[in-house]
Amino acid sequence: MSAPLTLCNRHCTGGLKSTRGEEEDDMGRIFVVELEGRSYRCKFCGTHLALPDQLVSKSFHCRRGKAYLFNEVVNITVGAPEERSMFSGLHIVADIFCCCCGGIIGWKYEAAHESNRRYEEGKFVLERGRIVGEMDLSRELFIDTHPE
């Protein structure tokens, strides 16, 4: 996902260690990746998070409802890994946060204890209630209502 970087002009949080999707200059400013075309964004501040072609599954669930599994996301910070009991079994996961507003938006699968869940390792889950699909103005389609 090669895309231009722009300065985050929204209220940015400090203290979270960034591991993907952001770069900080020596003044502590956060630069975010601007994805082209249709994208999933943070519901709270509109920051770009993922492209539809990185979507693996829409059949995941979390305590707050539906969740989507992605191969790759951008503009996030990753929290500390912890062992957590999920609907699908025991996993080592790390919460993920929007790099601009600091809102929790999902988690990253670090490791799965069951062999049939190993495909999830290294992938990201975005909670549906914490992201929004952006309308692609060039095609006038909504990301979650009209498949390509």
User: DSSP states of the chain as a string?
Assistant: ----EEE--S----SPPP-BSEEE-TT--EEEE---SS-EEETTT--EEE-GGGEEEEEEEETTEEEEEES---SEEE---EEEEETTEEEEEEEEEETTT--EEEEEEEEESSGGGGGGTT-EEEEGGGEEEPPBTTTTB-TTTS--
Compute the distance between CA of residue 13 and CA of residue 90 in angstroms, rounded to an integer. 30
% of the chain beyond a pLDDT of 90? 52
pLDDT at residue 25, as a whole number: 47
Its pTM stands at 0.74
Q: What is the mean pLDDT of residues 39-66?
A: 92
Compute the distance between CA of residue 3 and CA of residue 13 in angstroms, rounded to an integer. 23
- Its CATH class, for the domain covering 5-133, is mainly beta
| Residue 54 scores a pLDDT above 90 | yes
C-beta separation of 98 from 46 below 8 A: no
